[in-house]
Every structure is written in C-alpha cells, then in structure tokens.
Amino acid sequence: MSSHKSLSVLLAGTALSFTALTFAASSVSAAELRVFASSQHRPDVWRKAFDMYEAENPGNKIIMETGGNTSELQAQYLNTVMSAKDSSLDVMILDVIRPAQFAAAGWTTPFNSTIGDTKAFMSKYLPAYAGANTIDGKVVALPAFADAMFLYYRKDLLEKHGVAIPKTWSELTVAAKKVTDAENAPAAGRQSALQGLSFQAKAIEGAVCTFLLPYWSQGKDLVTDGKLTFDKDAATKSFALWKSFVDSGVAKANIAEVATDDTRKEFQAGEVLFAIGWSYAWGQFQTDASAVKDKVGVAVLPAVDGGKPVSCLGGWEWGVSSYSKNQVEAQKLVQYLSSPKISEFMAVNASLLPVFPELYKDADVLKAVPWFGSAQEIVTSAKARPVTPRYNEVSEIIRTTVNAVLAGTMTPEKGVEQMESRLQRVLR
C-alpha cells in the first residue's frame, strides 16, 4: 500500500478555468488523480470544489490526501515521496517558498507546453505569485491562493475598554496590558486568563516571519541578490521585542511551543486579544463553533517605533509531480483549480485570499469577506522571505534561533551572534 494511503483522505476541489483554456469534459481522459493538500486550509471546502470537477468531467475521480499542520511537516512528507519517485501522487500543494526548490530537484513538471504564451498567462495573477512560480522562464507551478500576515483583534474588547487599534508594537503592549488587566480581574469572572498576544515561536516556518516582521520594519533586508546583508542591531531589536512580550506577560510563557494553527485555535476559543495570523483563519473565526464569531477585526501589522508596517508574504501553489503517470489530466486539473472561478469560490467559501487582482473588488467576495476589500494592498506590499537556493538551511537557522530565544535558553544577543555566524557559512 502506498504511504499516501496512511494519511487522511479528506479533501478535494474544483473550479472553472480561464475562458480561453476551458476544457470540455470530452477532452479530458478518464483518470483517477491523487492530490495532496494541507490539512489546515479548509479541506472540507476543497472537497466540494473537487466534487464539481468530477461532475464536469465524468469518469474522473479525485482522491485527496491531507497531512501536516505545518509547512515543514508537509515538505518532509513530500520530500520523502518525491525522493522515492513515487508515481501514485499526481498533484501537490506547495508553500510559496517551495516551487523553486521542487523544480530544481526535478520533482515538478513545467506547464509551458500546455498554457501557451507563458507571460500572458501568468500576467493574470498577482505579480508576487507569477514570479514565485516562474523559474528561468519555466512555469513550475500555478497559484492556489494568496496569503499574508495580519493582526487579528477582538473588536468587542477594544471597544469595551476604549482602546484604539495599535499602529506600533509599543502601542500594542500598552493596549494589551490595559485590556488583559481588566478582563483578568476576579470581578470579570473569566474562566481562563485572556492572553494579550499570540504569535508563532515554535521552530516552524511561521517563526521565520516572526523574526523578519520587526527586522523588515526597521528598513533592513536579510539577503540581497543572494548575499547576506545581516544587520546585527536590527536583529537584536527584533529578538528583544518578541522576548519583551513574554517577559511582560503580554504573551504566554510557553510561546515557544506555539505553531501557526495553535494561534488560530487560541484566538478562536476566545483566549487571545491580539493574534498574528494568516488569512485562512478568518473563515474559521466566523463559524458557529467559534467563540469569537462577529467579534473579530483585522488590521495591518504594527510597526516598530519610527519604522513602517510590513507583512510577510505567504500563499500556496499547485504543482504536478514529474513522476505522475497522468501528466495531461493532472495539468488540466491544476489549471482548473488555479482559475478565477475557483479563486472566487475559495474566497467566498473558505476565506482564502484570491490570486487574481480583480477579485478583491468582486461583489460576491466582498459580501462574504468584507475586509478583503482592503487586503490587496497588504498582500501586494508584503515582503517575500529570503530568495536563495539554500533557503531550507536559512529557514532552519532562523526558526531554531527564534525558538531558543523565546524559550529562554538563549539571550537575544547570543541568538544574533549565532545566527549571523551560521548564516555566513550558508550564504558566503
């Protein structure tokens, strides 16, 4: 039995492709396609989309596997499958940082022969995603959905205590202390203490963004033209900021154990005032099972004092395995999934940010998720994590150092010293 079959078979998706590239049902050969996707990005909604695809393409069957609650776990699994040249997996979803790596390893099939004029085809997408999926002129994957980091906040509690949405991290600290002191007082009668801020400090990909947010806000870059441009002072201030949240009690003491979906779950349970998270969380905040339904606001991330607010670019892409025995059908499925209609469908039904600019003004999208109307500017201005062929090593250095500093096993100064030394060995 394939190792895939041990994963949860939960998910699937469907859509309509570009008008010029619509495939009649009769043109798609009957096939069983196995698709791997993240377990945290609304597999229930993707399943509905795949059901539509099957209905429009009789004889085709989509089997969806989900797994890995973090980008790292998903990458580890896919690395194992691809290294084994396993042909049972046809299509896979990839973190925006992965298409270049998978293409370099020969694990994905380019789309150039099936999409025609590649520049014209990719120009329909938001530029960041067209760029992330085009490597040396080859389109190695197609966008699934966009993403960026935002500040979620309890609008009901800010209004209750007369607190404005913070524009700087210093303002957030003051706001968090005021609200949590009042809400956690015995007279408030809370069953569990309200946290001021939740963010990602576990040694996962989200911790890379955690480090970079205040670092970038100081106007600094980590890598320029493939070379290390490390600023020790900015890095020290970044670590010191996050550590100050723990030391002051704004963030919980064991923040080093918090991964991306942990932040979402804590906020959704009503245990957090401010949360740094990705767009996918919004839809889950609005379910009937959510303790914060209709109580959530979304804002631009705060800036460091004297700096500018910066978000971290995220997003996910669909790739076709180079070992798939269903190349034609797999590529047609991915084009179907990476289309305006499906982008709209997932925005409306799963609150996943569109990859097409026009959808940020679409009436149906804005009716379902009103704040998406102001999200495009944040997404298009978000910064991408360091671009380098050795990104895996860069990521591992940053996230493990963030984790050590926030766990209290390393001082910010020592963390910066070790990070710089290790990055210099990787990026000479």
Please say if the pLDDT value at position 70 is more than 90: no
Contact by Cβ (8 Å): 278, 213: no
Tokens representing 249 are: 């009690």
Say whether pLDDT at 422 is over 60.
Answer: yes
Total of domains in the chain: 2
Are 232 and 416 within 8 A, CB to CB? yes
pTM, full prediction: 0.84
Residues 294 and 398 occupy one common structural domain:
yes
- 327 and 305 in a single domain? The answer is no
Q: Among 100, 59, 121, which residue's Cα sits nearest to residue 326? A: 59
| Mean pLDDT of the residues in the chain | 90
Instruction: Tell me which of 396 and 28 has the higher pLDDT.
Output: 396
The two three-digit tokens of residue 25, written as one number: 């049902």
11 pLDDT exceeds 50? no
Range from 17-31, 77-91, 263-277, 407-421 carrying the lowest mean pLDDT? 17-31
How far is residue 53's CA from residue 66's CA, in Å, rounded to a whole number? 18
How many helices (H) and strands (E) the chain has is answered by 18, 12
Residue 390: per-residue pLDDT: 86
Q: Which residue has the higher pLDDT, 395 or 387?
A: 395
276 and 413 both lie in a single domain: yes
CA distance 100 to 90: 18
Picking from 334, 427, 295, the residue whose alpha carbon sits closest to that of residue 108 is 334
Phi first, then psi, for residue 26 (nearest 5°) are -70, -20
- Residue that is last in its domain, among 361, 381, 401: 381
Distance CA 232, CA 210 (A): 16
Give pLDDT tens digits for 252-290.
999 999 999 999 999 999 999 999 999 989 989 999 999
Q: Tell me, what's the pLDDT at 191? A: 82
Do 189 and 327 lie in a common domain?
no
Pairing state between β 61-67 and 32-38: parallel
Distant-in-sequence, close-in-space partners of 422: CB < 8 Å, separation ≥ 6: 397
Asked whether the beta carbons of 2 and 32 are under 8 A apart, the reply is no
- pLDDT band at residue 25, thresholds of 50, 70 and 90? very low
Kindly state whether residues 276 and 332 are assigned to the same domain: no
What are residue 318's phi and psi, to 5 degrees? Answer: -100, 125
Domain co-membership, 329 together with 394: no
The reported pLDDT for the residue numbered 31 is 85
Q: Can you read off the two tokens belonging to residue 46?
A: 């993707």
Residue 168: other Cβ atoms inside 10 A: 16
Name the residue type at position 408: G
At residue 32 the predicted structure's pLDDT band, cuts being 50, 70 and 90, is very high
Bigger pLDDT: 50 vs 4:
50
pLDDT of 26 higher than 80: no
Rounded Cα gap, residues 155 and 164, in angstroms: 9
Q: Are both 38 and 130 inside the same structural domain?
A: yes
Shared domain check, 117 and 70: yes
| Model pLDDT, residue 397 | 97
- CA 221 from centre of chain: 20
Quick one: 402 and 280 in the same domain?
yes
The pLDDT, as a whole number, for residue 22 is 35
Average confidence (pLDDT) over 113-140: 93
pLDDT confidence of 18, banded at 50, 70, 90? Answer: very low
213 and 154 assigned to the same domain: yes
C-alpha–C-alpha distance, residues 6 and 74, integer Å: 14
Cross-strand bridge partners of residue 296: 154
Per-residue pLDDT, 4: 40
Q: Shortest CA distance to 195 belongs to which of 181, 175, 185, 180?
A: 180
pLDDT tens-digit map of 178-208: 999 999 999 888 888 999 999 999 999 999 9
Tokens of 49: 């989309």
Torsion sign over Cα 107, 63, 48, 334: positive
Q: Are 336 and 17 in contact (CB under 8 A)?
A: yes
pLDDT for residue 7: 35
Q: Are 71 and 147 in contact (CB under 8 A)?
A: no
User: What pLDDT is stored for residue 17 in this prediction?
Assistant: 34
Same domain, 184 and 207: yes
| Cα 209–Cα 241–Cα 282 angle in degrees, nearest 5 | 45
Neighbouring CB atoms inside 10 A of 66's CB total 23
Domain range for residue 105?
Answer: 3-147+314-381
Q: Residue 106's domain is classified under what CATH number?
A: 3.40.190.10
What digits encode the pLDDT tens for the residues 214-233? Answer: 999 999 999 988 889 999 99
Query: What are the backbone dihedrals phi and psi of residue 107, each rounded to the nearest 5 degrees, phi first?
Result: -95, -10
CB neighbour list of residue 60: distance below 8 Å, 6 or more residues apart: 28, 30, 31, 32, 33, 53, 54, 329
DSSP letter at 356 equals S
DSSP-assigned beta bridge partners for residue 383: 312
Q: What φ, ψ does residue 288 adopt, rounded to 5°?
A: -65, -25
pLDDT at 20 over 80: no
264, 162: one domain: yes
Name the band, by pLDDT with cuts 50, 70 and 90, for residue 29. low
Mean per-residue pLDDT for 118-145?
A: 94
First to last CA, the chain: 44
**What pLDDT, on a 0 to 100 scale, did the predictor assign at position 256?**
98
pLDDT reading at 6 higher than 70: no
